[in-house]
Structure 1
């Protein structure tokens, strides 16, 4: 239905962008800026470095490619569907830009990171602008839109992409800001919710981690995975309640200083409840687990990212990555995590393994050593990069 609505919207025409808007003073938009930094760290950094941006634009192969993209957008005239499609980067264009973008600090180099970020722009435009069905339609995407709303989002994104924003790469290409505007229009700012994760509900645990002697414990943390409810209005699923009991029971043994509770706003789509928050509440209220022992990870919507995001939090806490953690979950999910199919799924969806699965301790407990590769940002999942 979403694709049908968008198709109807695209049959309408309007002005691509008023000329006077393009001459406006650049201002900071803190929400868009935060989304840009979170989803597109490499390209965002380029927007904050005018000198590097000028050097990049002056490269002949880049200038030729950018001119072709400009001409393609200009040829669309007032056709919004054409404008959105023109924002998509072709494989050849992506290769030219990725090969030329400067950067450092990425585990596999700036070209690979630039490639992921360009692919992320394409994913957002296709999903939130052109009505393409996302990989997980039950929990992702914009949902069903009527034609008027679909048109309004495309038009607003087109205008915003041309309205100057401070610290942006609009001077290079407007597609990044077009994608960010589409996400914002859909109210899918999930990637920057709860920021910073070192504060808020996690502040007591991070303070506790600061002076911790990790050698005192067998495990650096117990990672408790989520299993979201499928019922509208249900804050915590039956499986989630079982996971909470298992977690409280294992924590009482004293083998780990922290519980990392992972699970975002997953099921059903756009639910107001984050699994991690609800499980944290149950651990404190029902089982008396102290707040300083609980770290929430409220973004993951899949088991793959449960483990990836938990690994990121362990790195942020200063936990030794060569020390094992213990994954706590129901027997079926635990067996799935241990299976060869899960290895293949990580390779397919993440491009790497978020850590190494270790020995099985029980039917509900599996050792896991996190990998530093989990720090890699990938906006092809714009809700949890």
Structure 2
């Protein structure tokens, strides 16, 4: 009887202990190294560089060092021989399929549950939630899959913002340059040489390609992923600090989400739709349904606009509608409805708000039904997962949404809002 009880208890602990370890931790603090564009897009590569003992391990490994030396040599050769051939620079900058396989294989060989790579998986990759889709895999497999994702993300950035390939949303996210212009190869040569020089200081096998990708975003003025970061210390500081005073049981919802409605005119700060959505949310806030209104939307419409939808809505909320600043949370990165919902779920989790309580979407009827009926399928197709589940419909313009922690998963092919 005692043996049966002991076996049952151990089985329970092993199963539930493993499940618990595979879940993200709301207390986990993301590591940025001060570069939010890099850390939000390529978190594994950021950790490789920012965790001292781990970096030491990777730099000293002869196999990875040889791969890095080969990459450096390829960059140097490109500067000398590519001339006016833009594609030549691009091929040198991207990770090849062989390089991705070889690095993944070596990381798998080096991995041990009790060494620095094992600690990386247990102490960072899983609790961060940034790679939630792989969290149920073995530590070794998760590590290699995460490496493949980050390498793929670097290549995607180079494809769009150096090579000029079409992004997911070409009207708003395309490259700023004409890659066929006769002066463009010189920019590529300069980026290649500079990236190689900067990478030597870091000494990591992936640095030349990563730095080339980051320079490409910067050249195109596409560092939007860093806008207002860290949010809890800038535009959301007052509201985030206020959360410590909230008694959540007094509210039906955690917050009221207002998706942005970008104007099409370059000099228009806030669209008419944005104003009306703000007013609709203000009514629900004033009725005491939630302690917060979250305004969501980045610098989206028109192409390379200087106006941020969320920041302009906050100005309208405070200045015109007289909603207190402590009641307004800003999500300034979303570029379409799918990520309005995903990014809201992310902030709820990161800020330690209740994940079992729904939030309320407040918008035009057409978008409200789009959120409940269309966006779930679109999310599965574009993100690879569903970042929320539908609750009850409150009205034609408002619907309940339950956030899901899988929303923390990085999207490899949206470098302005990964």
- Give yes or no for TM over 0.5: yes
Residue 239 (structure 1) aligns with: 273
Shift of 1:159: 2.0
Provide Cα deviations, 1:297-320, integer angstroms capped at 9, x if missing partner. 111001111111111211232111
**Counterpart in 1 of 2:48?**
46
Which range moved further: 196-205 or 293-302?
A: 196-205
Match of 2:294, SS state, is: strand
Q: Distance in 2 between matches of 1:111 and 1:229?
A: 42
Q: In 1, are the aligned partners of 2:75 and 2:196 still within 8 Å (CA)? A: no
Aligned partners of 1:243 and 1:264: how far apart in 2?
16
Tell me which protein shows more helix as a share of its residues. 2
Residue correspondence of structure 1 range 237-276 to structure 2 within 5 A:
237-276=271-310
Whether 1:112 and 2:145 are equivalent positions in the alignment is yes
Unaligned runs of 5+ in 2: 1-31, 108-116, 127-131, 135-141
CA displacement 1:47-86 (0-9 Å, x = unmatched): 2356544644676875676566566556544215212222
1: CA distance, partners of 2:35 / 2:351: 25
Task: Structure 1 unaligned segments of length 5 or more: list them.
Answer: 1-29
Counterpart Cα distance in 2 of 1:324 and 1:346: 19
Instruction: Judge which range, 284-293 or 82-91, deviates more.
Output: 82-91
CA distance in structure 1 between the partners assigned to 2:190 and 2:204 by the alignment:
16
Corresponding residue of 1:180: 214
Question: Partner of 2:166 in structure 1?
Answer: 133
Change (3 A) 1:189 1:169: farther
2:344 to 310, 314, 317: 310
> Take 1:201 and 1:48, find their aligned partners in 2: how far apart are those partners?
26
What is aligned with 1:204?
238
Note if 1:162 corresponds to 2:196. Answer: yes
Secondary structure of the 2:157 match is: helix
Residue 35 of structure 1 and its aligned partner are, at CA, apart by: 2.9
Q: Please report how far the alpha carbon of residue 162 of structure 1 lies from its aligned counterpart in structure 2 after TM superposition.
A: 1.3
Alpha-carbon distance, 1:210 to partner: 1.7
Tell me the TM-score normalized by structure 1.
0.84
- Corresponding position of 2:24: none
* TM-fit CA distance, 1:194: 0.3
Tell me the SS of whatever aligns to 1:270: coil
Number of equivalences: 355
Counterpart-to-counterpart distance in 1, 2:167 and 2:361 = 29
What TM-score do the two structures reach when normalised by structure 2?
0.77
Match of 2:214, SS state, is: helix
